[in-house]
Structure 1
Amino acid sequence: MNVKYSGNTILKSKNKTQLMVLTAMVFATALVLAVIENALPALPIAVPGVKFGLSNIAVMYALFFLGRKEAYTIAVLKSGFVFVTRGAIAAALSLAGGILSITVMVLLIFLFREKISYLILSIFGAVFHNVGQFAVITIIYTGMNLWAYFPVLLVSGLLAGIVTSTLLRFIMPAFNRIG
């Protein structure tokens, strides 16, 4: 399924208050997905920190159907939630990953318009989310050689992108009922 960026359509059909409430509801959905993911048992692999990033489904929905500003807002708010629940380093990782992920998806939408699929956008978003997190962690832990972990992050980003795109396809009708 190719992307038909409809952020502008929803923006035109909603007033500012409606859009703010809709953004808040998508943010709340992101938080619920994050809590669900944290409640799930760890993946049966020996790689620390690898998750599917279920809350990114809500961010992707916001980007595709509400607009860039709303997607960035949700990513920043998610980082604030991470700060409160898991601390400053986790929040910095969340913020860097989220902002870079959205920025890459925005650029791909701009460059390829309707010639790019949700799956490809999701994969690039997930991979660059991991790249953003890796950049922050290499700054924090400057004395450690972390480059051996980078290929693992790329592969996990690929898998996470496939999972989030597939789940977004199933969850999209529920999001559309919210809007």
Structure 2
Amino acid sequence: MNKTQNMVLSALIFATAIVLAIVENMLPPLPITVPGVKFGLSNIAVMYALFFLGKKQAYTIGILKSGFVFITRGAIASLLSLFGGILAITVMILLMAVFRKKITYLVISIFGAVFHNIGQFIIISLIYTGMNLWAYFPVLLISGLAAGIVTATLLKFIMPAFNRLV
């Protein structure tokens, strides 16, 4: 794939990430509503980029997603998206490097989602230093587990459509 094709494919995957984020925001709230907990459907596009296009494209799409969040939801939400996304991508890359072919997309997705939440927790703890947020931490871990399962499962079903883009 040449540079132009790679750039166009990355742009299409980023556009898919935006559409998935918009669709997720249009869905009714989860029955158990916990502030800030979402499935992170747009991370499906980031995971696809990481698995099939490479690290650089995954980081690029993650950073661009944060820019979209800045435009639509503001600076703090963007910072949470950026830090959580970068940490999640980094952890997924490390897992793929250490375990190579011995690790499944499901496990990578779960770790990515959990570490995305951990990254967000770190930033929110730095911003709101006077608040005791540790009670919320187990909720973030459990929701990360659920989100990782959902995004990996959806990626499995969406992958044929992504593969037709290539």
Determine if the TM-score, normalized by the shorter chain, exceeds 0.5.
Answer: yes
Q: What's 1:83 paired with?
A: 70
Offset from partner CA, 1:47-97 (integer Å, 9 cap, x none): 111100000000000000000000000000000000000000000000001
- Over residues 17-36 of structure 1, what are the superposed CA-to-partner deviations in whole Å (9 max), with x where a residue is unaligned? 10000000000000000000
Q: Which residue of 2 aligns with 1:58?
A: 45
Structure 2 Cα separation of the partners of residues 154 and 173 of structure 1: 30
- SS of the equivalent of 1:51 reads coil
| Paired residue total | 166
CA distance in 1, matches of 2:13, 2:32: 31
Give the equivalent residue in structure 2 for 1:11.
Answer: none
Q: Deviations over 1:123-169 (max 9, x none)?
A: 00000000000000000000000000000000000000000000000
Matched with 1:142 is 129
TM alignment of 1:23-172, pairs within 5 A: 23-172=10-159
Provide TM-score, normalisation by structure 1.
0.92
**Counterpart code for 1:46:** T
Unaligned runs of 5+ in 2: none
Give the distance between the partners of 2:90 and 2:55, measured in 1 at CA.
9
| Alignment partners' CA distance in 1, 2:154 and 2:127 | 33
Gaps of 5+ in 1: 1-13
What percentage of residue pairs aligned between the two structures are identical? 77
- What amino acid is aligned across from residue 14 of structure 2 in structure 1? F
Task: Give the TM-score normalised by the residue count of structure 2.
Answer: 0.99
Give the 3-state SS of the residue equivalent to 2:138 in structure 1: helix
Mapped partners of 2:108, 2:49: distance in 1: 13
- Matched residue, 1:5: none
4+ runs deviating over 3 angstroms: none
User: Letter of the aligned partner of 1:88 in structure 2?
Assistant: A
**What do you get for the CA RMSD once the two structures are aligned?**
0.4
How far off is 1:44 after superposition? 1.2
How far apart in 1 are the matches of 2:58 and 2:8? 14
Cα distance in structure 1, aligned partners of 2:62 and 2:29 = 23
Higher-RCO chain (CA-CA 8 Å, sequence separation at least 6): 1
